[in-house]
């Protein structure tokens, strides 16, 4: 009989989780978060430097890739704790960017990783387009070779952190297949159109019409496709872990409210019907946790197994996350939809996460296709 799997954190992972939890408690209480999301940037400019100083930006990269020897579990640990506090810094996007650069394995990419981990460089991931509705493989942005390098023309949407980034990582398609480019965000020919999402995260639509040097191409062809697939799956893992943190907070904040709110001379937590609803919420949280563990175990397997596990997690996050958040609002009553309590903000964040990098229908199809591919292999 094989030994049972151990899902407990290692001492190092527990210390990492504790450090993030302390940051959220000290630097991201409700008043400070409110001030941050009402600012022009939507974040506190000093927090990203703190992330770098504490080693979180390199915690999920192996040492040979320029990180501190961790992997997707460390990224999930960080993302889950950030999710509990509704932290608005684009950590999941950072995970995808760092994995993409590590997969490219070019000198330029490795140099960027070092500066990224140290907090000296800010990058934004410009993959999505309106036509794709979250599917990063739908690319209408084009590139063509010219005398001075490559001309890139297109429009990217929902680029998180673009207004604070020095460079953009842009996907495009051309005669030699898909390609990945590093684009200076301050260049003429790059126009940022910033706006705020429902959850107060700041994103930009990016219009591109410029010529970049030949060395700006990080990868192309099959190498680019593989790097993008790996990066997006790692980003979705971090996003799923963040969603689990949000669901966790929504569940236990609701439990605490029901234990203190009284009606007919007794606390709401004593009503059996409400206990059943809380039990249903707990089931969705634990199902999400189980699928996150499954995806973390599958991430080092074949691309098909990885994609299937990640899509299963994304579907559960979309369906279960919104169930938990909507029940939390219902159980709080009218106060649950106000700005003053975190409850409505949990719902908003989970609503946005459900649609980032594709919604339920897309990931159900992706799961089926990946599973069929694994069966054939």
Task: Determine, yes or no, domain membership for 151.
Answer: yes
Tell me, yes or no, whether 157 and 91 share the same domain.
no
pLDDT grade for 3, boundaries at 50, 70 and 90: low
Whole-angstrom distance, CA of residue 71 vs CA of residue 159:
24
* Alpha-carbon gap, residue 312 to 157, rounded angstroms: 25
Task: Burial-class residue 87 by CB neighbours within 10 Å (0-12, 13-18, 19+).
Answer: buried
Given 221, 241, 270, which residue is the final one in a domain?
221
Q: Are residues 266 and 353 in the same domain?
A: yes
Looking at the structure, do residues 72 and 187 belong to the same domain, yes or no?
no
Q: What is the pLDDT of residue 5?
A: 66
Give the CA distances from residue 137 to residues 109, 132, 134, 228, 366, in Å, rounded to whole numbers and listed in that order.
Answer: 21, 7, 9, 9, 12
Q: Which range is least confidently modeled, 1-5, 9-13, 356-360?
A: 1-5
pLDDT, mean of residues 311-328: 97
* Token representation of residue 275: 């206990």
**pLDDT tens-digit readout, 127-176:** 999 999 999 999 999 999 999 899 999 999 999 999 999 999 999 999 88
Q: How far apart are CA 277 and CA 268, in angstroms?
A: 12
Q: Has residue 262 got a pLDDT over 80?
A: no
Residue 200: predicted pLDDT: 93
Token digits for 169?
Answer: 């990582």
Q: Could you say which of 221, 239, 265 is where a domain stops?
A: 221
Residue 2 maps to a domain? no
- 172-202 pLDDT, tens digit each: 999 889 999 999 999 999 999 999 999 999 9
Average confidence (pLDDT) over 297-326? 95
**CATH number of the domain that residue 169 is part of:** 2.40.110.10
The 10s digit of each residue's pLDDT in 84-118 is 999 999 999 999 999 999 998 788 888 899 999 99
**Percent residues over pLDDT 70 in the chain:** 98
Residue range of the domain that includes 363? 223-376
**Do 236 and 360 have their domain in common?**
yes
- DSSP helix/strand/coil, 185: coil
Confidence label for 1 from pLDDT (cuts 50, 70 and 90): very low
**345 and 273 co-located in one domain:** yes
My answer on whether 46 and 87 are in the same domain is: yes
Residue 264 predicted with pLDDT over 90: no
Residue 152: enclosing H or E segment and its boundaries? strand 149-160
Residues 212-232 pLDDT 10s: 999 999 999 999 999 999 999
Do the domain assignments include residue 279? yes
Indicate whether 232 and 347 sit together in one domain: yes
| Token reading at 332 | 């709080």
- Domain match, 254 and 332 both: yes
pLDDT given at position 9: 87
For residue 65, what are the CA distances in angstroms to 114, 177, 346, 376?
9, 26, 34, 33
Residue ranges of the alpha helices (H) in the chain? 11-27, 30-37, 47-53, 72-84, 91-104, 107-117, 221-260, 272-298, 303-332, 342-353, 360-376
CATH assignment of the domain containing 362: 1.20.140.10
What is the per-residue burial (b if ≥16 Cβ within 10 Å, else e) of 306-330?
bbbbbbbbbbbbbebbbbbbbbbbe
**What is the rounded average pLDDT for all residues in the chain?**
93
Task: Identify whether residues 151 and 183 lie together within a single domain.
Answer: yes
Is 3 within a domain?
no
Which of 75, 97, 122 terminates a domain? The answer is 122
Q: How far apart are CA 80 and CA 250, in angstroms?
A: 13
Question: What is the per-residue pLDDT for 375?
Answer: 65
Residue 282 lies in a domain: yes
Q: What is the CATH number of the domain that holds 57?
A: 1.10.540.10
Q: d(Cα 321, Cα 323) in Å, to the nearest integer?
A: 5
For residue 312, is it within any domain? Answer: yes
Q: In degrees to the nearest 10, what's the CA dihedral of 101, 103, 109, 114?
A: 70
Q: Report if residue 137 sits inside a domain.
A: yes
Q: What pLDDT, on the 0 to 100 scale, is given for residue 334?
A: 87
Number of domains in the chain: 3
Based on the fold, state whether residues 248 and 311 are members of the same structural domain.
yes
Residue 56 included in any domain: yes
Are residues 157 and 287 both part of a single domain? no
pLDDT at 271: 84
**Whether 170 and 155 share a structural domain:** yes
């Amino acid at each position: 009989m094989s030994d049972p799997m151990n899902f407990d954190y290692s001492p190092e992972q527990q210390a990492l989780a504790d450090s993030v939890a302390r940051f959220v408690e000290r630097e991201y209480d409700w008043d400070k978060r409110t001030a941050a999301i009402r600012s022009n940037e939507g974040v506190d400019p000093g927090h990203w430097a703190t992330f770098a100083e504490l080693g979180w930006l390199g915690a999920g990269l192996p040492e040979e890739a320029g990180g501190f020897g961790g992997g997707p579990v460390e990224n999930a640990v960080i993302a889950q704790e950030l999710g509990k506090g509704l932290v608005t810094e684009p950590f999941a996007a950072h995970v995808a960017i760092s994995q993409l650069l590590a997969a490219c394995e070019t000198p330029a990419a490795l140099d960027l990783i070092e500066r990224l981990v140290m907090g000296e460089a800010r990058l934004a991931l410009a993959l999505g387009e309106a036509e794709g509705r979250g599917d990063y493989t739908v690319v209408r942005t084009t590139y063509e070779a010219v005398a001075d390098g490559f001309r890139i023309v297109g429009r990217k949407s929902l680029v998180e952190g673009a207004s604070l980034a020095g460079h953009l990582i842009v996907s495009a398609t051309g005669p030699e297949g898909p390609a990945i480019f590093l684009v200076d965000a301050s260049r003429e020919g790059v126009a940022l159109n910033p706006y705020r999402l429902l959850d107060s995260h700041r994103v930009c639509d990016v219009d591109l019409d410029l010529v970049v040097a030949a060395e700006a191409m990080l990868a192309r062809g099959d190498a680019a496709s593989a790097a993008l697939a790996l990066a997006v799956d790692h980003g979705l893992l971090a996003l799923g872990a963040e969603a689990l943190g949000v669901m966790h907070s929504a569940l236990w904040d609701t439990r605490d409210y029901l234990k203190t709110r009284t009606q007919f001379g007794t606390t709401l937590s004593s009503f059996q019907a409400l206990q059943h609803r809380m039990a249903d919420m707990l089931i969705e949280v634990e199902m999400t946790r189980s699928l996150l563990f499954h995806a973390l175990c599958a991430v080092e397997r074949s691309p098909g197994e990885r994609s299937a596990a990640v899509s299963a997690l994304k579907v559960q996050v979309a369906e279960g996350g919104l169930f938990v958040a909507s029940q939390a609002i219902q159980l709080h009553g009218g106060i649950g939809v106000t700005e003053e309590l975190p409850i409505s903000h949990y719902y908003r964040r989970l609503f946005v996460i459900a649609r980032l990098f594709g919604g339920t229908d897309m990931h159900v199809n992706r799961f089926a296709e990946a599973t069929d591919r694994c069966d054939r292999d």
